[in-house]
C-alpha cells in the first residue's frame, strides 16, 4: 500500500463500480469461503488432523465442483495425473530422507554438530543466522519440501541444543526456506506468474517480487524479536 501511494503506477486504480456490482461479485467467493470455513473450522475444533484437513478440503472441493458442474472429465483426469506426479515425487523425497536420516543416526553427525555449535563462545542467534542463511541459499536452488526433508535431521537437533522452542524454530526455518520460491534462479512461483502473464519480462517479475522478499525478511526479524507471536496460539491450544 505504501509503495502504491508513493508510485501510483505500481498499482493503478481500477474502474469504479457501484455497491450492487460489488455485492454481486461476492457471490463468486461464497464457495471458496465455505470450503475454507469447513476445513479450518474442523481443524481448530479437533474434528480432524492437519493431514485429514487436506483430504477434507479436496473432498469438499470435489463436491462443490460436481454440484456446480464446473468439473469436467478431462479436468478430473488432469488433476489425478498431476496428483500422481506430485505424490511420487514426495514419496521419493521421503524415502531418500529416511535413508539419509538412518545414516545420520548411525554416524551421530547431527548430535556432534549440535554439541559443537552449543559449545561455541557466541550467541545462539549468531548460529541461528548462519543456519537461516544456509536455508535461504538452499531454498533458492532446491524445492522447499525436499530441502526441508533432507536438512531437518541435521538442523533440528542443533536448534534444540541451542535452547530454541521447537515450534518457533520450525516456523522460522519453514518461512526462510519458502522464500526460495520467489528468489532466483529457481523461484518456482515466479515462473507460475510468468505463465499467467507471458507478456511481462521475467526480470521485471523478479524485480517486482523483491518487495515481497523484503516483507518476508521483516516478518522473520519480527518473529525472532517477538517469538510469542508464533507461540501464543500453540500455547493456548495446549
Domain boundaries, the chain: 16-71, 72-107, 109-238
> Would you state the pLDDT for residue 77?
87
pLDDT score, position 234: 53
Question: In the block, which residue shows the cell 557466541?
Answer: 122
Check if the beta carbon of residue 204 is closer than 8 Å to that of residue 141.
Answer: no
Residue 83 in this model has a pLDDT that exceeds 70: yes
Determine contact, residues 179/136, Cβ cutoff 8 Å.
Answer: yes
pTM of the model: 0.61
What's the confidence (pLDDT) of residue 191?
Answer: 75
Band (233; pLDDT cuts 50, 70, 90): low
How far, in whole angstroms, is CA 88 from its chain's centroid?
20
Amino acid at each position: 500500500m505504501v509503495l502504491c501511494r508513493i508510485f501510483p503506477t505500481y498499482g493503478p486504480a481500477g474502474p469504479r463500480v457501484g455497491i450492487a456490482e460489488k455485492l454481486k461479485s461476492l457471490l463468486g467467493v461464497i464457495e471458496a469461503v465455505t470450503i475454507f470455513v469447513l476445513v479450518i473450522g474442523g481443524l481448530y475444533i479437533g474434528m480432524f488432523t492437519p493431514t485429514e484437513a487436506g483430504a477434507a478440503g479436496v473432498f469438499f472441493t470435489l463436491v462443490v465442483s460436481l454440484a456446480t458442474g464446473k468439473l469436467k472429465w478431462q479436468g478430473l483426469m488432469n488433476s489425478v495425473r498431476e496428483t500422481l506426479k506430485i505424490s511420487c515425487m514426495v514419496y521419493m523425497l521421503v524415502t531418500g530422507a529416511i535413508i539419509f536420516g538412518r545414516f545420520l543416526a548411525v554416524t551421530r553427525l547431527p548430535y556432534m554438530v549440535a554439541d559443537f555449535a552449543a559449545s561455541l563462545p557466541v550467541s545462539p542467534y549468531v548460529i541461528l543466522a548462519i543456519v537461516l542463511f544456509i536455508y535461504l541459499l538452499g531454498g533458492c536452488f532446491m524445492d522447499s519440501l525436499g530441502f526441508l526433508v533432507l536438512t531437518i535431521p541435521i538442523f533440528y537437533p542443533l536448534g534444540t541444543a541451542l535452547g530454541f522452542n521447537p515450534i518457533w524454530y520450525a516456523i522460522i526455518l519453514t518461512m526462510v526456506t519458502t522464500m526460495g520460491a520467489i528468489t532466483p534462479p529457481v523461484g518456482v512461483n515466479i515462473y507460475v506468474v510468468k505463465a499467467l502473464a507471458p507478456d511481462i519480462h521475467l526480470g521485471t517479475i523478479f524485480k517486482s517480487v523483491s518487495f515481497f522478499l523484503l516483507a518476508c525478511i521483516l516478518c522473520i526479524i519480527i518473529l525472532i524479536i517477538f517469538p510469542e507471536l508464533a507461540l501464543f496460539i500453540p500455547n493456548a491450544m495446549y
